[in-house]
Amino acid sequence: MVGTFISHPLDTVKVRIQLSKVGSRLTVRQCLKDIYRVEGATGFFKGVWSPIVARTPISACLFVS
């Protein structure tokens, strides 16, 4: 759960760059600034609960086995 929570902001930036328009050439720095300016620090953690909930039982099964 902690690993997912820590890596989620980088995944958010990666996805937004991938979804940006082809000709826009959005850089990581620009993407970070835009997310922080428009949504604040919480914008980096949008949708974090879905992967945490999905990975918790998987990790538990791996740990048990």
Residue ranges per domain, the chain? Answer: 2-64
- What is the CB-side half-sphere exposure of residue 57 using CA atoms within 13 A? 3
Q: Report the alpha-carbon distance of residue 48 to residue 44 in Å, rounded.
A: 9
- How confident is the prediction along the chain (65 residues), in pLDDT tens digits per residue? 888 899 999 999 999 999 988 778 889 999 999 999 999 999 999 999 999 999 989 989 999 99
Q: Report the alpha-carbon distance of residue 14 to residue 23 in Å, rounded.
A: 17
pLDDT value at residue 1:
83
pLDDT value at residue 23:
74
